Amino acid sequence: MIPTKTARRAAAVLAVPALLITAACGSDSKDDAAPKKSGPVAEVSGKFGAEPKIEIAKDAQVSDEVVATDVSTGDGAEVKKGDIVRLDFAGNIEALGSTWAQRQGADPKAPRAQVVQEVGQQGQMLPTKVADALAGHKIGSRVQVEGTAEAIVGQQLNPQSGIKPGDPLVWVVDIVNAKKVDKQAEAKGDQAASEAGMPEVKAASQKAATITIPKGEKAPKDLKEQVLIKGDGAVVKAGEGLVVQYTGVKWEDGEKFDSSWDHGGASAFPIGVGGVIQGWDKGLVGKHVGDRVLLTIPPNQAYGADPSNQLAKNNLVFVVDILGTV
């Protein structure tokens, strides 16, 4: 539901690798056989914050249940269901993905795109069961999560991946940060009037904002931004997880195409690392927690001319409440 480069509407920040999973993460297995339990079978080397090395013996018998154990234990707060976590991860096979892999053409000195995901909700980059297994572990921990493909992915396992239901899957996860978020929070304070040529915004509490495109005005050719409510929180930095409420409309017809309020409230995603559309990365990094920001984004900083995206070629307008960072 966040405006990523490959959004279906304004879809998720990062997508679970299609090689592995065909639909929603999780398991709907109806196998009633007694699960085979065991401890972790993978050997993991490397320190927290550095890319891990994962080794599994060819004859290893992985558990039929999800097993999560600390490789190293951090000294931060314990992660709980409902927390937004920011993390690094690597898998034992390429199809599982890795945050350690640099994006093509990315600045090697720039922050890497990490996963930002809510524990207890359907995942986008990590399968839901892997993220859920982090509950009870501490911030700063390196956690090894493993099980059979059937146990972790279930019926969503992509048959074209070449992975069999009994194959061992291992994720090594570094819990970088975690925070409890009020999903009904919103920016507070007196809202400024929109600048000349910018859309008018009416933001009723607990509802998607009403955004009115100015009559007779052409969409700006460049990214334009205005802080409507000034917050006094921390500055948003590239590489952080950002928690927001948002509403988006098309400049061309003023039609709303998405809002966090339509999906249960606040959403979170990595910012400033190429995970979301360029207009968000440029327009939100450097703002403050507590800000309400109005953005008008031209197609070349949104979805361009991608024929597979229904928002291609559209100029987009967003109102974004910055609620916090993770």
SS3 94: helix
SS3 150: helix
Report the alpha-carbon distance of residue 132 to residue 81 in Å, rounded: 7
Question: Quick one: the chain helix, strand, coil %, rounded to 5?
Answer: 10, 30, 60
Give, for 281, the enclosing helix (H) or strand (E): helix 278-284
Scan for tokens 């007779």, then name that residue: 216
Report the alpha-carbon distance of residue 61 to residue 210 in Å, rounded: 56
**37-51 pLDDT, tens digit each:** 667 889 999 999 999
β pairing state of 241-250 and 316-325: antiparallel
Residues of the chain with pLDDT under 50: 1, 6-16, 18, 23-32
| Residue burial 31-65, b: 16+ Cβ < 10 Å; e: rest | eeeeeeeeebbbebebebeeebebebeeeeebbbe
pLDDT for 177: 98
pLDDT for 21: 58
pLDDT for 5: 54
pLDDT for 23: 47
Look at the alpha carbons of 142, 103, 4, 272 in this order and tell me if their dihedral is positive or negative: positive
**60-110 pLDDT, tens digit each:** 888 999 999 999 999 999 999 999 999 999 999 988 989 998 666 667 788
pLDDT for 130: 96
Cβ–Cβ < 8 Å for 89, 16? no
pTM over cut 0.85: yes
SS3 308: coil
Look at the alpha carbons of 262, 264, 266, 267 in this order and tell me if their dihedral is positive or negative: negative
